[in-house]
Structure 1
């Protein structure tokens, strides 16, 4: 999907999301794990430079495209000029904000070009919104939000006994809902569960229906077991499950 020069009428929300996730991973590497290299490449003495995330989870600092209009929306121009005029952390955070904006622009450029309908655009947005922003990863806000949710995680684990659940018990809302009177709670909870279940999407493939799910203890997203290669038998021996994205982000920040 790099460059957008593909057969447009065959693309899906899931394919655009994979493109988004790959570009996002590359930009996170540039601003965390590869930050020294990124910093050196953004020499203020050079021309206007942009940070590009590529679908194969790599990144590059380069000049913007010469053609107008470009094949894809262009990232923020001239990120190198502010490098020495700001504190490094503030500069990285600013680049992260513009990187988030660019990723959304690219994703919904594809959505428009591929003719997505309302349902497909909503599905794409939900998959994207389940991931922390680059800004949250770079500034540590994503980790802080996770810590603040820890009491809820403990409560949720006590009620469910396990964070690996079949489809009918996989929503956070149903597991975190306050207890109601026994006589009144049955029908109301069933209706609530049915409504919430329809909105739960796998953090990997973006679809809903499956038999076995597992929840990441870090970002609290749900995944089909088969999408993250976790079986019910294997899940019984996992004390704290981290999804592929959270595992990657942790290594990047190390």
Structure 2
């Protein structure tokens, strides 16, 4: 069953076509990788799905309903969360507070309730705090709960971004270069966490990633972009041996994992 579908989406920046007529179907509960050389259009593709950019052509559907052209906050409310290649945490806030920020789209307290701190507001905040702590336990960060986000090790900051994304209760989780800058131990832990999230929560996971060992291990389907166009799709073994993919990556060594 399809959870997210991009149909013939296109994006221009002046005279440059960053993404051209790309169609991808993401199955519910699957792990799918979108790969390609630098400048292939991968992040632009993510930015259209999450509403940062509006497509110049084509349609995007989440759970059979159109989300084409919606603003990022509305898309988040409908069930799409993401992390970024460059970590975007509230560095001066605590680890717990960072996760609680991700919950605000689902909180019901209005302005007056917040202003006067009614019993209903206090109960909702307590529940949010409990859920945030549970998510931190889930990703292995419970020991850091009261630390400022800036003081976490690099790999832990990546996990915190994922916990904050999970706090929005997503149907689809987009991970943009989640293993960037990680050492081998951190990458292994991240790989296990991604698989655990899919298995435990049945969330559809889509990742952009240059670490081909990670991609080949966890992806059920791989889509390959080059110069904004889809040049290949298939299971890992098909992609590993696809001549167009090998050429786009400038040699077999990039895919020999």
- Structure in which a larger fraction of residues adopt strand: 2
Give the TM-score normalised by structure 2: 0.30
Give the TM-score normalised by structure 1: 0.30
Structure of larger gyration radius: 1
